[in-house]
Amino acid sequence: MYKVIKRFHDLQDARKTKSGRIYHEYNVGDVFPRDGMEVSEERIQELAGPDNRQGVPLIELVQEKGAPKKTTKKTASGKTTTKQTTTKTASK
């Protein structure tokens, strides 16, 4: 899941009206992409990095609760290891 970190209009998500095209507006805190919209990995990378028209990241990956989290460490011998952990949520 991705979260919007800077307001933008998605130039690849528009609808036509009598007066022209209206681009979907994303505000800070919105989930990207919106319900019913499928987006390519290439588009996600474009919006998550500086390679878009605003030149700054517009979305960021949000780690969902309970989803596995990967961490990478270098050992003393110089080898890289990856550890996968799961975030636990408290139940009421």
User: pLDDT of 20-29, one tens digit each?
Assistant: 999 999 999 9
Domain ranges of the chain: 1-92
- Residue 12's CB is within 10 A of a number of other CB atoms, namely 13
pLDDT at 81: 53
Q: Is 32 exposed, middle or buried (0-12, 13-18, 19+ CB in 10 A)?
A: buried
* Tens digit of each residue's pLDDT, the chain (92 residues): 999 999 999 999 999 999 999 999 999 999 999 999 999 999 999 999 999 999 999 999 998 776 665 555 555 666 555 555 555 555 54
What's this model's pTM, rounded to 2 decimal places? Answer: 0.67
